[in-house]
Structure 1
């Protein structure tokens, strides 16, 4: 079914044809097991018992007391640690399961790794550390090194515990402290606890029948095996020259690794269920003259400008001017409930849909321009709304399919890969013999240790946090809950999101630092919201949360919509992150601290 480039205004027949194509493509990919089609990358077919980058060293268990502990060494934890240092916290302990700081940028080191958000707004605390990124879209190693630089600048290595997983948090009301226990036998006390363990940390594998039978080499992209492939993050995978390689998955990670594998492997098979939308990347080195012209406050200005534009606000100038800011209108459905009230609901929905169709048609036209084989080009075209899947950007991915040693294997009509054998991957009745299978299948989404139950939290009277949240999250502003004093959460629950989530985490860290500083200034015994404050915030979330259930239900399956089974309820602050950050600033300066600081 071919649909030509869409005009400025569509006839009902043209709109119906496009909607029908989207529905048909969605139905080809829906599976009744939804997210159950995946399995955890652990256990008998797992890779994660050891850290491939840092050797684990034995140490004696820790039994002491600190003022604050931050669980998680990614950017959320790092920025929180920095803000706590600035708030005057000296006895600070950072804990992470990895061997060093960096979070996702510690674990992910695959070839071609870059961030898809411009580095000047993504990499936090650039001015504080005194660094200007070398590339517009920074490579993974540059980002990881920046994480280390933050930790060094704010003395976060002092008393840090790596290769350590927190196994329990329990509140002692008499001592007004938390008891923290870990898998290394540690048991210590802390006045404050901040949980920043992330929600995209646990790799997942497809539940392919026979996956355990395969006798070739396998690994997940988040544990790239350079010992097998050779090379490094810049490529040069010379050990694959005589290898047939299969890649499972075509999301944001595959977009980056496929060009390197295509160049270096004897033959590459890309197993695709749903193609990504692939727009222009246009990465380039940072202009030294531009970097030298920057004045104090430059990063915050760029961050605020980017956030304002991508969430539908107005700015006199687009300082970033990239694929994200150019498609801000198309992101509204997923990220914010802000509306143009000058339009009727019907006209607004029509214009949104038209803009979306035009952008996606442009992306499909780019596939035709680049990919030489018409049949392959047709398979690479995305037929869904723009924000149904995370958009991707590359100047090399589509070009890889012009190589004679690259084969695209479409799995949409077979419900994915049919099975694996000892020697290869089977789709339908066809077996593709491969020496190595690389799983670019992403992570479990939205499942932190707290929500999964792997980090049990017991508050006042032994009350389990998950029991307190049995009917949904109960917090004030997403940070803290009644009955769980001095416990702070970073993440997306009951606050606001953005495509640049590190900016959101920075605002959360700033808020936590300010609350802790004021608590210490007042000599507060506890930081804890009242039940009334919790309920009022829950009501605000219910009243303002964006209603994107219908939109996501019509999307092709992916992690944004629970593999075709979206949650009917959103826990996000509908007006969006700009309004949420303004709300927090106003709360801090207009007496809000009185709601949570308990002095007697």
Structure 2
């Protein structure tokens, strides 16, 4: 059934019935996008070097590690001690591996939760599904959305439970990795003078490990105090993650950036600063959090397998599984868009919808959700002009949504000023403060809530000298595009595993993704050891088959081209090829399970007597 077959009065996609004209909304979205496009794209950001080089310093340690350089061999070397590295170590421990070394540039485990200790920091995914290994550790988080400090301490509990501290090297960064064919080992060097050999190497550097700064003219001329949210300076502000920043009582503070970090730290700064200026380029979606303490009676009644059931239910609800939606276990605002889609599709008679109409249904559901978000702004912000500036005009799926119940009310305070830059960002910074629309805002401190460099976590993009067989580097192998099997292994790079979002499944709950990856990598390593294989390395044919599969599934995501600039679409400057497995993480995890059950290992295990032909067959 098409629109022509419906009468306007009965058409659930008709503007009169909807209460808004979709074309008018599309036009507004395009206008908002166009005024935010910058010619410099991703180059508008700077690495924290030069005058801002102190961002490379770890503020949470007192001294350099007091140890001699290592010259030894381990079975497994894991680079990165965030949730990905911890999960890889935990799953390998469960498989019986004893010789595991973690190398981490921070002073302890935790990854992004080690660095991000700003006031108000919490997980934006329900903690009962975000924190992995809960049943293994016998732990239930204290709140539905746990504070950052609780999460950081939990990462330490994982490391302790699985004895991962024993051979860990902290405040240590890998400087090179090369495959030694004669030893059948990886040779790894570090900035501490270590020379380590390892049979298997796992890289899990994480997508949020390198802070970035805005390339604002004059950023280095400001005479006041500055810091990035990932290096929060409590020696200047006082207080801790819960607030109480008495050092700001007589300070005028500027926050540059209104993404997830800015949304979380603004309410605490509003409470404690003499005056707070929030500089906004693009407003975020800020939905209801409705946090609450964990119900002890509920926690006591949890039965074996509850964690996996709840995690899977969350992704199934977002993926449109009707049965799982009917028993939504998490029941928070993450599921709204999927439920809107279901409602609109049912109203439109989904059994008879064409493919084009399904896309329209998806768009209408998105419009409905975003209308709710904008109405929420109006209901919470008293000043109409401020409320209009805080309303986001783009599709819900253009940016990762945020969740906070204190952010919008903060703008009702007389000592909080929203500086809406009209989509252009701060024009320049003088020795006294930021300038927007020609107005200089004199402040004592600038907080850069500008996030992290996304896309540089994979070793192929990190600049790390990583040489596989015959000295070929990973970037050389990827010169015509990423080439992996399932996103983890590549031909010519024996016993090397890369974790993260690349040619594999993705989901809002990224720790669930990392756990699936760690489970699969541990299974490959375990099977290799059990069968006496020399290497885990996909054949060229298996690698090419996966590359071909990803090309069929990926294509160009034209919807992202229409989005406002952000890291999802390379700041709006190119058609975005989505090199992720579709449709979702649950199906990708099932694909991996089938691969293991059906002996896909035949495509990756190489035995001592086997030769590597030029085509890897």
TM > 0.5 = yes
- Say how many residue pairs are matched: 585
- Root-mean-square deviation over aligned CA pairs: 1.6
1:558-577 aligned at under 5 Å gives the runs 558-577=566-585
SS in 2 for 1:194: strand
Report the counterpart of residue 42 of structure 1 in structure 2: 49
| SS of aligned partner of 1:467 | helix
Q: Aligned in 2, Cα 1:331/1:131: closer, same or farther, shift over 3 Å?
A: farther
What is the CA–CA distance in structure 1 between the aligned matches of 2:375 and 2:194, rounded to whole Å?
Answer: 58
Question: Among residues 15, 36, 56, which one is paired with 1:11 in the alignment?
Answer: 15
Work out the CA distance in 2 between the residues paired with 1:144 and 1:391. Answer: 23
Using the TM superposition, give the Cα deviation of residue 517 of structure 1 relative to its aligned residue in structure 2, in angstroms.
1.1
The Cα shift of 1:575 comes to 2.2
Residues 139-166 of structure 1 show CA distances to partners (whole Å, capped at 9, x for unaligned) of 1001001100000000000110000110
Return closer, same or farther for 1:94/1:305 CA change in 2, 3 Å cut-off.
Answer: same
Cα deviation, 1:294-314, whole Å, max 9, x if unaligned, reads 011110111111111223334
The CA distance in 2 between the partners of 1:88 and 1:546, in whole Å, is 41
Q: Tell me if structure 2 keeps the 8 A contact 1:477–1:495.
A: yes
Is 1:434 paired with 2:443?
Answer: yes
The 2-side partners of 1:233 and 1:485 are apart by: 43
Q: Does the alignment pair 1:25 with 2:29?
A: no
1:51 and 2:46 matched: no
> How far apart are the structure 2 equivalents of 1:396 and 1:301?
31
CA contact (8 A) 1:330 1:387 kept: no
In 2, distance between residues paired with 1:320 and 1:455? 40
Residue 539 (1) aligns with residue 548 (2): yes
Partner of 2:5: none
Secondary structure (helix, strand or coil) at the match of 1:134 reads: coil
Offset of residue 110 of structure 1:
0.3
Q: 1:252 aligns with which of 238, 256, 260?
A: 260
Query: Does structure 1 residue 240 correspond to structure 2 residue 244?
Result: no
> Would you say 1:210 and 2:218 are equivalent positions?
yes
Q: Which residue of 1 aligns with 2:77?
A: 69
Partner-residue secondary structure (3-state), 1:276:
coil
Task: Indicate yes or no: 2:488 matched with 1:484.
Answer: no
**Contact 2:103–2:172 (CA<8 Å) still a contact in 1?**
yes
CA distance in 1, matches of 2:448, 2:545: 44
| SS of the residue 1:282 aligns to | coil
Equivalent residue, structure 1, for 2:615: none
Question: Where in structure 2 are the equivalents of 1:397-476 lying within 5 Å?
Answer: 397-412=407-422, 415-448=424-457, 450-476=459-485
Residue 526 of structure 1 corresponds to 535
Q: Where does residue 8 of structure 2 map in the other structure?
A: none
Counterpart residue number, 1:110 = 118
User: Does the CA-based 8 Å contact 1:546-1:573 persist in structure 2?
Assistant: no
- Distance in structure 2 (CA, Å) of the matches to 1:486 and 1:53: 34
Q: What pairs up with 1:157-196 in 2 under 5 angstroms? A: 157-196=165-204
Q: Distance in 1 between matches of 2:545 and 2:340?
A: 31
Instruction: Return closer, same or farther for 1:330/1:185 CA change in 2, 3 Å cut-off.
Output: farther
Q: How many Å separate the matches in 1 of 2:406 and 2:518?
A: 37
Q: 2:368 aligns with which of 328, 350, 358?
A: 358
Aligned to 1:506: 515
Q: Deviations over 1:222-274 (max 9, x none)?
A: 00000110100001111101000000001111111111111110000000011
Measured at CA, do residues 546 and 342 of structure 1 come closer, stay the same or move farther in structure 2, by a change above 3 Å? farther
> C-alpha distance in 2, partners of 1:61/1:154?
25
| Partner SS for 1:509 | helix
**1:552/1:566 contact within 8 Å kept:** no
d(CA) in 2 for partners of 1:273, 1:393: 19
- Alpha-carbon separation, structure 2, partners of 1:182 and 1:341: 59
Structure-2 residue corresponding to 1:337: none
Quote the Cα distance in structure 2 between the aligned partners of 1:449 and 1:167: 14
In structure 2, how many angstroms separate the alpha carbons of the residues matched to 1:202 and 1:341? 47
Residues 561 and 575 in structure 2, CA contact (< 8 A), matched pair in contact too = no
SS at match of 1:270: strand
**Counterpart residue number, 2:337:** 327
Please tell me whether residue 391 in structure 1 is matched to residue 395 in structure 2: no
Q: Tell me the secondary structure at the aligned position of residue 290 of structure 2.
A: coil
Task: Give the secondary-structure state (helix, strand or coil) at the position aligned to 1:211.
Answer: coil
Q: Is the 8 A contact 1:70 1:193 kept in 2?
A: yes
Query: Which whole-Å CA distance do the structure 1 matches of 2:289 and 2:440 have between them?
Result: 34
* SS of equivalent residue, structure 1 residue 271: strand
Counterpart of 1:554 in structure 2 is 562
Task: Tell me if the contact between 1:105 and 1:143 (Cα under 8 Å) persists in the aligned partners.
Answer: yes
Q: Take 1:567 and 1:491, find their aligned partners in 2: how far apart are those partners?
A: 22
Aligned to 1:136: 144
Q: Which residue of 1 aligns with 2:588?
A: 580
Q: Give the whole-Å Cα distance in 1 for the aligned partners of 2:362 and 2:117.
A: 37
SS at match of 2:119: coil
Residue of structure 1 in register with 2:614 after alignment: none
Q: Is the 8 A contact 2:461 2:475 kept in 1?
A: no
How far off is 1:367 after superposition?
0.8
CA distance in structure 2 between the partners assigned to 1:574 and 1:36 by the alignment: 30
Aligned mates of 1:46, 1:419 — CA distance in 2: 20
Partner of 1:562: helix, strand, or coil? helix
Q: 4+ residue stretches of structure 1 with deviation over 4 A?
A: 329-332
**Residue 289 of structure 1 pairs with residue 297 of structure 2:** yes
TM-score (norm 1): 0.95
Give the deviation of 1:453 after TM superposition: 4.1
Give the secondary structure class of the aligned counterpart of 1:403: coil
